[in-house]
Each structure stands twice: as structure tokens, then as C-alpha cells.
């Protein structure tokens, strides 16, 4: 593959870009379905998508949950009961071309814009995100410091876009020439500079008063160093290492869920 990619980089750039803008949909677990079915559900229009929304509880303090790339609102099924027990109102959603929202080509930038729109709509006091959802949340809030929120929990937080693109290319066995041309394509299509899309630069600009970053030290999907880098550049953030959970099971681990709720409740 590496040799062919060197010879025909345009083909692989096109395929890689398609991969980045066409999220896979994975089967929802039965217990996730059960929690989603208990929610009040509605659909709203956002760009060319029908976005599925979910809400639980009637408390006076609202928490917005932001899932990761190729995830869905059901990923927070284990956290929702913990939040309801503390009388929070909980809002979640399926991102563009994710979960029960309508399908179509999308991007991380469109996902970020949706987070901004939902914060404006629901005016949550707190925000909890997982994986790529942390990128969308912190770039959104860092770009809009006028949107005042109190507390943020990032359950695994990526940092630099260039690093993430290089990691994906490496996992696919693609040569650096493909990465370079892919970055050029992203910058041309979205009028951005990839080297300027760093979560550690946006997070400190947000209005969050307190932040907690949680990451498993043996996360095989996203290195723990990424969350540490963000925390080091963000004065209001505290980093806490987690063990024996991994990248996904961290959202289903009782000790982690209890820590999240304690932080939001304090």
C-alpha cells in the first residue's frame, strides 16, 4: 500500500479525505437504547442535517454531553443516571451523520459549529465531552468566550490536528506525501491552517471556570500525553490519570462516572 500511495498520492488523498468526512455508524448496545428511549426526543434542523436531540430530567442546572467522532448520545448511557440522581437536567445529541441524525458528508468543523449552536440554544452550565467531542467543545467555546459556562469535563482530550492526521495516516500505512497533500486539501476546503487548530490554544480562551481532564494512562486510541498537554496550558484545568479502563470503557467505569458527577456537583 505504501508503494502504491507513493506512486498515486491523489487517489489516497481522496480516499483519506472521504474517510475523515464520512463517519462510520456502529451498533447501539441494548442498555444504551434503553436509556435513550427514556429521554424526551426531538429533531432540529442544522445545515443540511436533521439532528436528533435527547433530554432527561427537569433540574435547574443543565449539563450538555458531547460524544466523539463515530459515536452517539448513547455512549453516555451509563453517565446519565448518575447525573439524574444529582438532579441535573441532561441534554445530549447525535452529531451530523452520527447516530439517529440524518446521514451525509460532514466534518469536524461542522460538528464544532453544532456544539456552538446547541450551547446557545440550551444555555447549559456544564459540559462533558469524550474524545473528539472534546476537540469540538473546546474549540467551540474557545472561539466564543462570550458563551459563559461554569464547569467542563473532558474524558480523553486530543490536542493538535496535525498530530491526529499523522496518527491516522500512520495507522493506515500511508506515506508522508499523502499526509502533506491531505492537509493542503483540508486547508483549502475549510479556509483554515491545520497547525493553528490546537486544543491547547483554544481551551484557555473559553469561559469555563473549572475543568477536569480524565484519561487512561494506557489508552491505545489516544495517547494520555494529549490531555496532559492541554491541561498544562490551561490554568483552570486539572488533569487526573485513570487506569484499567481504555478509551471507550472509561465512559462505563463507575469510579470515573462518580468522579465526574462529584466534580460537577461540588
User: Is the pLDDT reported for residue 266 higher than 60?
Assistant: yes
User: Is the pLDDT reported for residue 2 higher than 60?
Assistant: no
Q: What is the average pLDDT across 99-121?
A: 96
Residues 142-187: tens digit of each pLDDT: 999 999 999 999 999 999 989 888 887 777 777 778 888 888 988 9
> What does the pLDDT read at residue 208?
98
> What does the pLDDT read at residue 1?
58
Residues 4-21: tens digit of each pLDDT: 666 666 777 777 788 778
Domain ranges of the chain: 2-265
Question: What is the percent of the chain where pLDDT is above 70?
Answer: 97
Judge residue 42's burial from the number of C-beta atoms within 10 Å of its C-beta, 0-12 exposed, 13-18 middle, 19 or more buried: exposed
User: Is the pLDDT reported for residue 34 higher than 70?
Assistant: yes
User: Is the pLDDT reported for residue 49 higher than 90?
Assistant: yes
User: Is the pLDDT reported for residue 201 higher than 60?
Assistant: yes
> What does the pLDDT read at residue 8?
60
User: Is the pLDDT reported for residue 39 higher than 80?
Assistant: yes
**Domain at 2-265: CATH architecture:** 3-Layer(aba) Sandwich (3.40)
Does the reported pTM lie above 0.75? yes
Q: What is the average pLDDT across 237-266?
A: 97
Q: What is the average pLDDT across 243-255?
A: 97
Amino acid at each position: 500500500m505504501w508503494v502504491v500511495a507513493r506512486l498515486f498520492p491523489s487517489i489516497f488523498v481522496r480516499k483519506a479525505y472521504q474517510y475523515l468526512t464520512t463517519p462510520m455508524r456502529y451498533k447501539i448496545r441494548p442498555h444504551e437504547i434503553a436509556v435513550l428511549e427514556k429521554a424526551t426526543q426531538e429533531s432540529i434542523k442544522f445545515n443540511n442535517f436533521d439532528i436528533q436531540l435527547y433530554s432527561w430530567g427537569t433540574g435547574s442546572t443543565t449539563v450538555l454531553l458531547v460524544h466523539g467522532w463515530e459515536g452517539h448520545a448513547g455512549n453516555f448511557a451509563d453517565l446519565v443516571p448518575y447525573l439524574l440522581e444529582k438532579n441535573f437536567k441532561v441534554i445530549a445529541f447525535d452529531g451530523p451523520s452520527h447516530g439517529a441524525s440524518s446521514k451525509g458528508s460532514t466534518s469536524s468543523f461542522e460538528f464544532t459549529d453544532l456544539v456552538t449552536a446547541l450551547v446557545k440554544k440550551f444555555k447549559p452550565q456544564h459540559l462533558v465531552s469524550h474524545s473528539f467531542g472534546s476537540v469540538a467543545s473546546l474549540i467551540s467555546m474557545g472561539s466564543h468566550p462570550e458563551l459563559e459556562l461554569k464547569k467542563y469535563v473532558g474524558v480523553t482530550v486530543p490536542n493538535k490536528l496535525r498530530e491526529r492526521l499523522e496518527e491516522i495516516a500512520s495507522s493506515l500505512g500511508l506515506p508522508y506525501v499523502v499526509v502533506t497533500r491531505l492537509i493542503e486539501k483540508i486547508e483549502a476546503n475549510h479556509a483554515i491552517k491545520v497547525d493553528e487548530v490546537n486544543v491547547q490554544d483554544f481551551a484557555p480562551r473559553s469561559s469555563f471556570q473549572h475543568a477536569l481532564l480524565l484519561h487512561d494512562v494506557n489508552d491505545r486510541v489516544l495517547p494520555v500525553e494529549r490531555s496532559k498537554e492541554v491541561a498544562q496550558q490551561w490554568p483552570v484545568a486539572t488533569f487526573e490519570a485513570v487506569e484499567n479502563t481504555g478509551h471507550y470503557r472509561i465512559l462505563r467505569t463507575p469510579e470515573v462516572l462518580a468522579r465526574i458527577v462529584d466534580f460537577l456537583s461540588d
